[in-house]
Chains A and B, each alone.
Chain A
Amino acid sequence: AQRVTQPEKLLSVFKGAPVELKCNYSYSGSPELFWYVQYSRQRLQLLLRHISRESIKGFTADLNKGETSFHLKKPFAQEEDSAMYYCALRAGTALIFGKGTTLSVSS
């Protein structure tokens, strides 16, 4: 079955601390994975995708096929990173989303 699991509903860190938002997936084919972010009162938007291998706003995510994971990391969290983060898997043309993790960064 195709599935995306984000085990943490809420992650609270202090400003400057490292952040890791976990994502595991289940997919029989070659996965295409994404992280979407939704800031307060804004619409859902793409943060990064695994095939581009970019760092966006200091965030990176590496696809680990052995562990079927695509964790999102940032070495030093900022208060403006506070948002809801969704991991998503492309299955055909549509996306399968995890339940999301709320990241709260406080000073």
Chain B
Amino acid sequence: SAVISQKPSRDICQRGTSLTIQCQVDSQVTMMFWYRQQPGQSLTLIATANQGSEATYESGFVIDKFPISRPNLTFSTLTVSNMSPEDSSIYLCSVERAASRYNEQFFGPGTRLTVL
């Protein structure tokens, strides 16, 4: 399995400010993913973060709004910039790792963000 921690676990922010979420994994992984789960909605992939290269963003998400860093194989950050109430969501970090015979995606505990 993979032990994934996220900081902060929750935060309440004012509109127009930015928040950086940290994701730490207990051992090296190639691919890390950032998901968003808006209230009552499913998980939606924001971007894939590979170490040593720029993150790959999904349709509807842009680097200016959600800049991502991936300085090494165990750590990544996601910044939610210039926040508005629509950014209120749970943000989840995920990694893929081999588990038994197959690869498996493991998820962090999430960061619950409320924007006022």
> Which residues from chain A sit less than 8 Å from chain B, CB to CB?
4, 43-46, 49, 51-52, 86, 93-100
Contact = CB atoms under 8 A, between A and B. Distances in A.
B33 A94 contact: yes
A95 B94 CA distance: 10
A84 to B, nearest CB: 11
A51 B102 contact: yes
Interface string B30-48: 0101000000111111001
Nearest to A44: B107
Given A52-B102, A86-B42, A86-B43, A93 B48 contact: yes
11 contacts: A44-B92, A45-B107, A46-B105, A86-B43, A93-B48, A93-B96, A95-B45, A96-B45, A97-B42, A99-B42, A100-B42
From DSSP, what is the main secondary structure of chain B's interface residues? strand
A49 B105 CA distance: 11
B104 A46 contact: yes
B108 interface: yes
Interface string B88-100: 0000100010000
Contact of B41 (A52, A95, A99): A99
B67 interface: no
Given A94-B58, A95-B43, A98-B42, 18 more contacts: A4-B42, A43-B109, A44-B43, A45-B107, A46-B105, A46-B106, A49-B102, A86-B42, A94-B45, A95-B45, A95-B105, A96-B45, A97-B42, A97-B43, A97-B44, A99-B40, A99-B42, A100-B42
The 8 closest A-B pairs by CB, nearest first: A44-B107, A99-B42, A97-B43, A97-B42, A94-B45, A43-B109, A43-B107, A46-B104
B23 to A, nearest CB: 13
Contacts of B40: 99
Contacts of A45: 106-107
Nearest to A46: B104
A44 B44 CA distance: 14
A95 B45 CA distance: 8
A86 B31 CA distance: 22
